[in-house]
Structure 1
Amino acid sequence: MTREILIAPSILAADFARLGEQVGAIDAAGADWIHCDVMDGHFVPNISFGADVIKAIRPVTSKIFDVHLMIAPTDSYLEAFAKAGADVITVHAEAGPHLDRSLQAIRTLGRKAGVSLCPATPESAIEYVLDRIDLVLVMTVNPGFGGQSFLESQIEKIGRIRSMIGERPIRLEVDGGITRDNAAAVAAAGADTLVAGSAVFRGSSADYAANIAAIRIAAEAGRVPKMQDNSAQLLRAGETARIR
Structure 2
Amino acid sequence: MIPVSISELAAILRGGEQEGILALLRAYFDASATDPSKGAVYAVGGFVGREGAWIKAEAEWKEGLRTFQLNEFHLADIIPNLGHEMGGLCILHFSKIVGRSGLRGIGASCDIEHWKNRDTGYANPYHFCFSMALNILREDVSLELGGEPVALVVDDDVKPRDVTEGVFAAYQEDTNGQIFKALAFGNRRTFLPIQCADLAVGALRKEWLEGILSDSKKTLKEFQGAIGS
TM-score, normalization: structure 2? 0.30
Greater C-alpha radius of gyration:
1
TM-score, normalization: structure 1? 0.28
